[in-house]
Amino acid sequence: MAVVLWGTASGLAEIGPRRMTLPTENLAKETYLVGESGQLTLALSYEYEILEDARLGPDYYPNLERMFTSNNTLAFEAVYGVSKNISMSVLIPFKNIQNTSVADSVVLLGLSEESPRFFNYSRGSRGLGDVIVMTYFRADLGNLLRFGDEYYPASEDDYDNYFDAEPRMYAGKRQGPVLALAVGLRLPTGKNDIRDEFGKRLPDDLQLGTGTMDPIVGLLYFQRKFRLGWGLSGLLRISSQENIYHYQWGSEFIASGYFSYRLTKKLEWINHFNLTYLGRDYDEGHAVTNRGARMLMMAPSLIYEAPGGVTLQATAQVPLYRDFNEIQLSSDYIINLRTSYSFD
């Protein structure tokens, strides 16, 4: 049976394949697994990318329209420890999406073969995106199964005298593996009816929200050994419904692995590898062209633990492999800056 593909007028996906707003560079770490009841962490992050290279499958494709999209996201995060083994988080993103064509002439097909249109344009949206709420259930396997080495030093005083020491909250605990189950929702808080200056609704890729409530499930694993750390995670967002415009976003899956090395007491280097699968979208039940991808990203990061409970983090994501469905815009790098403060 043939699959009917519906495409955009210009033939390019306006914003590219990245849609999930969860900070994948932190998913496999202890960021959301608060170890103490009542502990609160607040964070502010900024992410920037510009999509300007067209790709057909894994290969470059001429961007004859000279179209590019800038995507800026300012996100507020809060993480709270409900108990020793349960924590909750909320991520509130504010987006600024601008899609521009700077070609001398842009041909929009589909009106009629006799009368194509030629013009430059700039369009976009800004405001609140879809909010994500998550709950994490943590199990310290080293303590449950009684295996793994004891941390050393075992006291707070000893910690101040040794370089090869773990954070104080782990002092005296076994350093066996930690496993966590993550469940959550992406809420339809972002507008999805934004229109251009002519009153025409913008494509779904340029909208601030999806217009649907999607469940998220995941599994996280990590372990530390003094200066070294490593972990794995898998996260799935399930798309099973259409929005009011009969548009259904494809489901998304992210598998992430990382290893880290503590350079000093305050400075840590981390390297993530994120494998992402984005399913194809559907419009009124028809598969949409220029949607869906498979990507492998590398994300090196530096984390500095400043005095007073403040943490600074800088991350740069670069693609190692990209395979898009049909023709889509892509970016060669993504910059993320993040700062957080933990209340003891």
Distance CA 237, CA 251 (A): 6
Q: How far is CA 3 from CA 246, 285, 286, 319, in A?
A: 18, 11, 8, 30
Using a 10 angstrom Cβ sphere, with 0-12 exposed, 13-18 middle and 19 or more buried, the burial of residue 93 is buried
Tell me the domain boundaries of the chain. Answer: 5-104+117-343
Closest to 16 measured CA to CA, from 290, 334, 298, 336 = 290
pLDDT band at 207 (very low <50, low <70, confident <90, very high): very high
pLDDT at 83 over 60: yes
Query: φ, ψ for residue 181 (rounded to 5)?
Result: -100, 130
pLDDT band at 37 (very low <50, low <70, confident <90, very high): confident
- Tell how strand 247-248 and strand 252-262 pair up: unpaired
Q: Look over the chain and give the mean of its residue pLDDT values, rounded to a whole number.
A: 79
Average pLDDT over residues 144-162: 45
pLDDT at 223 over 50: yes
Region of 322 please: left (phi>0), alpha (psi -120 to 50) or beta.
beta
Beta bridge partners of 134: 89, 184
Considering 19-23, 142-146, 212-216, the range whose residues carry the highest mean pLDDT is: 212-216
pLDDT band at 144 (very low <50, low <70, confident <90, very high): low
Average pLDDT over residues 109-134: 71
Beta bridge partners of 88: 80, 135
pLDDT band at 306 (very low <50, low <70, confident <90, very high): very high
pLDDT (0 to 100) of residue 301? 93
pLDDT (0 to 100) of residue 318? 94
pLDDT at 206 over 60: yes
pLDDT band at 22 (very low <50, low <70, confident <90, very high): low
pLDDT (0 to 100) of residue 111? 42
pLDDT at 26 over 50: no
Residue at 159: amino acid letter = Y
Q: How many CB atoms lie within 10 A of CB 315?
A: 22
pLDDT (0 to 100) of residue 148? 45
- Tell how strand 282-283 and strand 267-278 pair up: unpaired
What confidence tens digit (pLDDT) does each residue in 272-302 have? 999 999 999 999 999 988 889 999 999 999 9
Q: Are 173 and 141 in contact (CB under 8 A)?
A: no
Contacts of residue 275, defined as CB under 8 A and 6 or more positions apart, other chains included, come to 254, 255, 256, 295, 296, 297
Average pLDDT over residues 267-271: 93
Lowest-pLDDT range of 67-71, 163-167, 224-228, 268-272: 163-167
pLDDT (0 to 100) of residue 304? 94
Lowest-pLDDT range of 62-71, 113-122, 186-195, 288-297: 113-122
pLDDT at 252 over 70: yes
The owner of tokens 């399913």 is 279
Percentage above 70 pLDDT, the chain: 74
Greater confidence (24 vs 192) lies with: 192
Distance CA 151, CA 176 (A): 10
> Which tokens go with 53?
């290279």
| CATH architecture of residue range(s) 5-104+117-343 | Beta Barrel (2.40)
**pTM for this model (two decimals):** 0.83
Average pLDDT over residues 244-248: 94
